[in-house]
């Protein structure tokens, strides 16, 4: 018996390179070729490997790099977010290629909301421009920089229509007008994904937050939304559908409840509307920790039940929690989650990876080995000219008091305030480059003259 087990292990190890070699090649990026490829791959995967593809984790104190290495080796991770340095991304993809059995590539994602290294105006500013070309510039440059950093997906655009200024995330969306939000969200998807998310300088988008996240009662984050079907589909749904019709490969599901049901557990929303009526073929991703929230919502009795409810309702990937990896094996074994349901969720994730071109080249967005554009001449890689042009388009003069404009022919104008001469300490997504790491920060007080603005 021991001898037979040893032989079995040896045969399994010997087959690993062959299994991996079959995955990679010049695969046609067509739905037909993809479906055949993924169907064949699913037959080779264990239950644990399928569950691993549904896990989206963030690198940090809860998941240090050493722990992630073991997860990758055991096939327990499908994607990584919040990692934005190319050497780190390459190291993790190397671990997949060198340590895991099937070597199914990871994809890497990040919140690229209004620029990656180059900071553009926030979405409300873009909406103020009423200029779709400006939006496309932001999308094109953001995708270029994100892909150049090694990313494959962005959690953008946010197309939640918001009409309550008390809502703290209004700045991430395009405002209160349904038509304007629809057009701008669609333009962002088209410009970020380009001809194909598999292209060297394109990234896949994730339309969010589905659905009606900007209509939370009282403007309170995570609150409930109650509205008629007419208002929902006329005022709030069009931007999501337009983004998906433009080809967005992912949907991030909202944290709020909609007419009494949390979106994360709403099979009507995620299956009847999204899949059956709209024909969406991509992945659905829970928002940060949303599956845990189902217990607080009262629609799940415990963590295991929350996983059952979420997967059966249509959540493919679980963001930033261990619930899927911890509880799905037992749920599948007991039959509370069927193999068909697990395969369906895994298929969506593998489809997206195929569309990203990762089975053609897992390193397609990583460039030369051991290089990182943030550390190599980063300042010259910023798209400052484009950022200035878009910023000019976004400015709106509400009232020209004291004839401030046009500016007089004074050569120098100086900006100041409490942050003068200090490194910016605000939200990294608002005033810094990628990942909250400053790019071209304000110099100290002895160098202020460099920051005087010259007007001609």
Structure tokens that stand for 245 in this block: 């019709």
Give residue 1's pLDDT band: very low, low, confident or very high (50, 70, 90). very low
How far, in Å, CA of 40 to CA of 69, rounded? 27
89 Rama sector, left if φ>0, alpha if ψ -120 to 50, beta otherwise: alpha
Q: State whether residue 154 is helix, strand or coil.
A: strand
Q: In the annotation, is 287 catalytic?
A: yes
Do residue 116 and residue 207 come from a single domain?
Answer: yes
Do residue 316 and residue 192 come from a single domain?
Answer: yes
Q: What pLDDT is attached to residue 10?
A: 40
Cβ burial 392-425 (10 Å sphere, 16+ → b, else e): ebbeeeeeeeeeeeeeeeeeeeeeeeeeeeeeee
pTM of the predicted structure, to 2 decimals = 0.87
103 Rama sector, left if φ>0, alpha if ψ -120 to 50, beta otherwise: left
Do residue 298 and residue 412 come from a single domain?
Answer: no
Checking if the pLDDT of 15 tops 90, the result is: no
Find out whether 115 and 145 touch, Cβ atoms under 8 Å.
Answer: yes
**What's the number of domains the chain is made of?**
2
32: number of CA atoms within 13 Å, CB side? 0
How far, in Å, CA of 56 to CA of 362, rounded? 17
Residues pairing with 284 in the sheet: 251
Q: What pLDDT is attached to residue 367?
A: 74
Tell me the per-residue pLDDT of 216-242, one tens digit each, with 9 for 90 and over: 999 999 899 999 999 999 999 999 999
CA nearest to 158, candidates 222, 286, 251? 251
CA nearest to 419, candidates 393, 398, 448, 390? 448
Structure tokens that stand for 276 in this block: 């059956």
In a domain? residue 147: yes
Question: In CATH, what number is assigned to the domain containing residue 64?
Answer: 3.20.20.300
How far, in Å, CA of 148 to CA of 372, rounded? 9
CA nearest to 83, candidates 68, 71, 70, 97? 68
Structure tokens that stand for 365 in this block: 């967005």
Q: Percent of the chain at pLDDT above 90?
A: 73
Do residue 428 and residue 320 come from a single domain?
Answer: no
Higher per-residue pLDDT: 258 or 429? 258
Higher per-residue pLDDT: 46 or 368? 46
Tell me the per-residue pLDDT of 322-355, one tens digit each, with 9 for 90 and over: 899 999 999 999 999 999 999 999 999 999 999 9
Do residue 418 and residue 278 come from a single domain?
Answer: no
Q: What pLDDT is attached to residue 6?
A: 39
Do residue 419 and residue 285 come from a single domain?
Answer: no
In a domain? residue 213: yes
Do residue 296 and residue 422 come from a single domain?
Answer: no
In a domain? residue 381: no
Checking if the pLDDT of 102 tops 90, the result is: yes
Could you say which of 287, 343, 355, 372 is catalytic? 287
The whole domain housing 190 covers 47-355
Q: How high does pLDDT run on average in the chain? A: 87
In a domain? residue 131: yes
Average pLDDT over residues 176-181: 99
Checking if the pLDDT of 18 tops 90, the result is: no
Instruction: Look at the chain and count its residues.
Output: 456
How far, in Å, CA of 311 to CA of 340, rounded? 11
């Amino acid at each position: 018996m021991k001898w037979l087990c040893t032989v079995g292990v040896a045969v399994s190890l010997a087959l690993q390179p062959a299994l991996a070699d079959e995955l990679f090649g010049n695969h046609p990026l067509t739905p037909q070729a993809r479906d055949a490829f993924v169907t064949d791959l699913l037959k080779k995967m264990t239950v644990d490997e399928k569950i691993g593809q549904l896990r989206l984790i963030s690198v940090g104190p809860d998941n240090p790099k050493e722990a992630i290495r073991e997860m990758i080796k055991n096939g327990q991770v499908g994607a990584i977010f919040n990692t934005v340095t190319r050497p780190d991304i390459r190291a993790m993809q190397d671990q997949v290629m060198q340590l895991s059995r099937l070597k199914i590539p990871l994809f890497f994602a990040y919140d690229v909301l209004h620029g990656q290294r180059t900071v553009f105006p926030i979405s409300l500013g873009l909406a103020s421009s009423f200029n779709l070309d400006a939006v496309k510039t932001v999308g094109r440059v953001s995708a270029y920089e994100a892909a150049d950093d090694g990313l494959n997906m962005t959690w953008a655009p946010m197309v939640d229509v918001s009409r309550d200024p008390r809502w703290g995330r209004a700045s991430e969306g395009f405002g209160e007008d349904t038509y304007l939000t629809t057009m701008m969200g669609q333009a962002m998807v088209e410009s970020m994904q380009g001809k194909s998310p598999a292209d060297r300088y394109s990234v896949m988008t994730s339309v969010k937050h589905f659905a009606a996240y900007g209509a939370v009662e009282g403007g309170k984050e995570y609150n409930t939304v109650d509205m008629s079907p007419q208002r929902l589909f006329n005022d709030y749904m069009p931007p999501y559908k337009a983004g998906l019709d433009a080809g967005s490969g992912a949907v991030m599901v909202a944290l709020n409840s909609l007419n009494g049901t949390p979106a994360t557990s709403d099979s009507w929303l995620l299956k009847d509307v999204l899949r059956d009526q709209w024909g969406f073929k991509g992945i659905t991703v829970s928002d940060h920790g949303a599956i845990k929230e189902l217990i607080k919502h009262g629609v799940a009795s415990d963590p295991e039940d929350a996983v059952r409810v979420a997967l059966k309702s249509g959540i493919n990937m679980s963001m930033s929690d261990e619930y899927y990896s911890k509880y799905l094996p037992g749920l599948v074994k007991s039959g509370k989650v069927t193999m068909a349901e697990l395969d369906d969720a895994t298929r969506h994730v593998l489809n997206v990876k195929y569309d990203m071109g990762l089975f053609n080249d897992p390193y397609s967005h990583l460039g030369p080995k051991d290089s990182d554009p943030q550390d190599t001449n980063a300042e010259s890689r910023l798209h400052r000219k484009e950022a200035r042009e878009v910023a000019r388009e976004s400015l709106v003069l509400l009232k020209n008091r004291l004839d401030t404009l046009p500016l007089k022919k004074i050569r120098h104008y100086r900006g100041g305030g409490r942050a003068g001469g200090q490194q910016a300490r605000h939200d990294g997504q608002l005033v810094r480059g990628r990942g909250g790491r400053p790019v071209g920060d304000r110099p100290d007080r002895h160098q202020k003259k460099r920051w005087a603005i010259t007007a001609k």
